[in-house]
Amino acid sequence: MDGFDFGFSPDGEIIVDSETHDIYKSKDDELKIQLSYNRIKSISKNWFIDEVGADMEELIGRPCTEDMTEYGKQKIINVLLIDDLWNKDDIFIKAEIKDNVHIIYSVYLKLFQ
């Protein structure tokens, strides 16, 4: 993967080096992970210029069923395949219905062969 992006903390804040005051830059595998995280948590047509987002908010208010977990998994996989960010064989998602209002998705991405 070519290029870089500003480094973001898990809560969306730009990471700044406390000594140099330079903005941290994500590159290579770290960039792929950051892009993946941002795509999964984003809503398309919201703030992303490229309109790439998993739109997971569509699951809110729907019943927590096996069909719904599969629907969410497919939304995550689809957004990670855009622009060949990941190969489908390098994505594994475990979905767990915690209770009648929570589905937990654990996303595993293979970085090397």
In percent, the amount of the chain with pLDDT more than 70 equals 91
Burial class (CB in 10 A: 0-12, 13-18, 19+), 88: exposed
Instruction: Please spell the DSSP secondary structure of 46-90, one letter per residue.
Output: SS-TT-----GGGGTTS---HHHHHHHHHHHHHHHHGGGSS-GGG
Return the structure tokens found at 50.
């490229």
* Confidence at residue 40, expressed as pLDDT on a 0 to 100 scale: 93
- Model confidence pLDDT, tens digit, residues 88-105: 999 999 999 999 999 999
**Of the given ranges (8-12, 21-25, 37-41, 79-83), which has the lowest mean pLDDT?**
8-12
Please, which pLDDT band fits residue 50 given cuts at 50, 70 and 90?
A: low
For the chain, give the longest Cα–Cα distance: 50
* Confidence at residue 70, expressed as pLDDT on a 0 to 100 scale: 97
